[in-house]
Amino acid sequence: MSSDPRYVVAVDQGTTSTRSIVFDLQGRMVSLASRQHRHHHPQPGWSEHDPAEIWRHVQHVVPQALDDIGADASQVVALGIANQRESCLVWERRTGRPLTPVITWEDTRAGDVVQQVLDAGHGDLVVERTGAPVSTYFAGSRLRWLLDHVRGLAERAERGEVCFGTMETWLVWNLTGGADGGRHVTDVTNASRTNLLDVRGLDWDPRMLEVFGVPHAMLPHVEPTTGDFGTCTSVLPGVPVAAAMGDQQAALFGQTCFAPGQSKATFGTGAFLLVNAGSEVPPSGHGLVPTVAYVLPGEAPVYALEGSVAAAGSLVQWCRDALRLVPTAPRIETLARTAPDNGGCYVVPAFSGLYAPRWDAHARGVIVGLTAYVDRGHLARGVLEATAWQTAEVVEAVASALGHGLDALRVDGGMTTNHLLMQTVADVLDVPVERPLFAETVSVGAAYAAGLGVGAWGDLDALSRLWRRAARWEPAMPDAVRRRERAQWSRAVERAQHWVELPEGPDQLLLSAPEPPPVPEDRP
């Protein structure tokens, strides 16, 4: 065996930042580099990133993570990509020039498209074919919005002159050559978040393309989670892109939830609970969404049942950036610990409406129960409790769907360094909460999948043996308190619900970037 160390590199392209993590072949994390990108909110309900900025960050963090350990591309056996899901953009096939910003999963501008699809009576059909309800959350409605509002885009899409993609599609295209032969591919887990994929056939559904008016010519080829996504021509020249998957599916994989019934919750910008549902599409219902967990070549697909919470860490970020309540996100814990409880104050962060299990696009955020007694500490408590209670609603829905509750919940994501929050989650769920040693489970999952793809690791059992618990929080809240607080939370949510009429979309192109962003730097 060569003494030259060998590595698997993961890229986690998240809503807040882009990270690159290097793993050795024992599955240990050996280096991490990260960069936050800007988040634009040009109008209420709009949420955008600059695709060129994100590609630049990938070009920066991947070499940096390798440089930090004195390694280079020649020692990398595979690259795996995990990404914020549903966020999407369109670019020009000939030049690779982005024609739109990244319209993120939190963006609600396509509310009128959703309404049109529902008014046309297609709501049940979309759920039956794709597993997911019609929502601005899934990419199809936002793609339709772009086709309607970017001048000339619909015609160019019909002619095959433009490429649609979610974030892994954009990154794989650029990594494998861009306009000079880059691959236009998506992975099946990301594709299952578009309202356009036949969740059983695992390819674009012609009926859904009709319903959303999406030309097939602009869509990427759908690939299994691990396999041949092409070879990097830049950033990691010669290295195969061996896996790509949505970040929440990657976290399920990284938490080694390979057996039906195993679950994890990731607390990042949003919060996402996924339960492994085995190889049959689980029934929709209880406000949960069947989704593709992973597809390994030559094996039956594995599905998950998902409960997505739109706003979790983003509420903390809003407290930091918009309210200046805290200087950094972790300081929300320090502030919350100055108060013994929420002082009667409840925060419902329905910035993008409410997702699972209520699915109310018309909901908007509220802070209720304010009296002159409430101070910053109480508010910070209310902010953390909002994530816990939203998760509790999802866990209740999962219990109804499965017919039994969870024994324990594996957690990960940026918010899980917050001990008070994790204790609160255990308390309101009345379930123990466990965090693994490698809390960057999204990257772990992408690396595991990529390593499997090139034979660097044996099999799923070998990966399961790598999971190590680092922390556990036991429920400690008296039942009576839990019941009382649960009832108060429900009353607060009711006040947030049905708040707005969905706005009509503008008639003309109103993207916030009137000039297309510059072509990524490394292209001639």
Ligand X SMILES: O=P(O)(O)OC[C@H](O)CO
Instruction: List interacting residues with ligand ADP (CB under 6 A).
Output: 14-17, 268-269, 313-314, 316-317, 329-330, 332-333, 413-415, 417-418
490 Cβ contact partners less than 8 Å away, ≥ 6 residues apart: none
418 binding partner (options ligand X, ligand ADP, none; Cβ < 5 to 8 Å by kind): ligand ADP
Q: Is 110 helix (H, G, I), strand (E, B) or coil?
A: coil
Q: Least distance from C-beta 403 to ligand X, angstroms?
A: 26
Q: Which is nearer to ligand X, 267 or 473 (CB)?
A: 267
What would the DSSP string read from start to end of 230-285?
A: -B-SSSSTT-BEEEEEEHHHHHHHHTT--STT-EEEEESSSEEEEEEEETSPPPPB
For residue 264, the cross-strand partners are 274, 410
Q: Name, in order, each residue with C-beta under 8 angstroms of 482's C-beta and a sequence gap of 6 or more.
A: 427, 428, 430
Q: How many CA atoms lie within 13 A of 383 on its CB side?
A: 30
Query: Counting beta carbons within 10 angstroms of the beta carbon of residue 328, is it exposed (0 to 12), middle (13 to 18) or buried (19 or more)?
Result: exposed
CA dihedral for 504, 507, 510, 516, sign (positive or negative): positive
Instruction: Choose the contact partner of 105 out of ligand ADP, ligand X, none; CB within 5 to 8 A by kind.
Output: ligand X
Nearer to ligand X, 293 or 345 (CB): 293
As measured in angstroms, the least distance from the Cβ of 86 to ligand X is 5
Binding site for ligand X (CB under 6 A): 14-15, 84-86, 105, 246-248, 268-270, 308
Task: Pick the closer one to ligand ADP by CB: 159 or 337.
Answer: 337
Asked if 270 contacts 310 with a C-beta cutoff of 8 angstroms, the reply is yes
Q: Which is nearer to ligand X, 88 or 392 (CB)?
A: 88
Partner from ligand X, ligand ADP, none binding residue 417, C-beta < 5-8 Å depending on class: ligand ADP
Measured between alpha carbons, how far is 306 from 274 in angstroms, rounded to an integer? 4
Q: Least Å distance between CB 345 and ligand X?
A: 25
Instruction: Please choose which of ligand X, ligand ADP, none residue 330 contacts, taking the beta carbon within 5 to 8 angstroms, the exact cut-off set by kind.
Output: ligand ADP
Helix (H) or strand (E) holding 198: strand 197-198
Give min distance, CB of 380 to ligand ADP, in A. Answer: 10
* b/e map 18-53, b = 16+ CB within 10 Å: bbbbbbeeebebbbbbbbebebbeeeebbbbbbbbb
How far is CA 477 from each of CA 52, 134, 190, 315, 435, rounded to the nearest angstrom?
47, 37, 38, 24, 20
Least separation in angstroms between CB 413 and ligand X: 6
Q: Which residue is nearest to ligand ADP (CB)?
A: 414
Q: How open is the CA angle 199-202-204, to the nearest 5 degrees?
A: 90
333 interacts with, out of ligand ADP, ligand X, none, CB within 5 to 8 A per kind: ligand ADP
Q: Minimum distance from CB of 430 to ligand ADP (Å)?
A: 22
Q: Name the residue nearer to ligand ADP (CB basis): 413 or 436.
A: 413
Report in angstroms how near the CB of residue 358 gets to ligand X at its nearest. Answer: 17
CB of 312 to ligand ADP, least distance (A): 7
By C-beta, is 49 or 144 nearer to ligand ADP?
49
Question: Residue 138 touches which of ligand ADP, ligand X, none (CB < 5 to 8 A by kind)?
Answer: none
Dihedrals φ, ψ of 403, to 5°?
85, 5
Instruction: Name which of 77 and 332 has its Cβ closer to ligand ADP.
Output: 332
Distances, alpha carbon 465 to alpha carbons 24, 27, 442, 458, in Å: 16, 11, 17, 11
Looking at beta carbons only, is 55 or 457 nearer to ligand X? 55
Euclidean distance between CA atoms 202 and 344, whole angstroms = 48
Q: How far is the CB of 332 from ligand ADP (least distance, A)?
A: 5
Are the CB atoms for 402 and 307 separated by under 8 Å?
A: no
* Residue 64 contact partner, candidates ligand ADP, ligand X, none, CB within 5 to 8 A by sort of partner: none
Partner interacting with residue 45 (select from ligand ADP, ligand X, none; CB below 5-8 Å by kind): none
Distance in Å, CB of 446 to ligand X, minimum? 12
Nearer to ligand ADP, 165 or 313 (CB): 313
**Residue 316 interacting partner from ligand X, ligand ADP, none (CB closer than 5 to 8 Å by kind):** ligand ADP
317 binds, among ligand ADP, ligand X, none (CB under 5 to 8 A by kind): ligand ADP
Burial class (CB in 10 A: 0-12, 13-18, 19+), 507: exposed
Contact 108/361 with Cβ under 8 angstroms?
Answer: yes
Q: Do residues 31 and 67 make contact, with C-beta atoms less than 8 angstroms apart?
A: no
The residue behind tokens 């998760």 is 391
The distance of closest approach from Cβ of residue 334 to ligand X in the complex, given in angstroms and rounded to an integer, is: 23
Q: Which is nearer to ligand X, 137 or 204 (CB)?
A: 137
Name the token pair of 424.
């609160």
Those residues whose C-beta lies under 8 Å from the C-beta of residue 102, and which sit 6 or more positions away, are 48, 49, 50, 51, 54, 87, 88, 89, 167, 170
CB closer to ligand X, 167 vs 295: 167
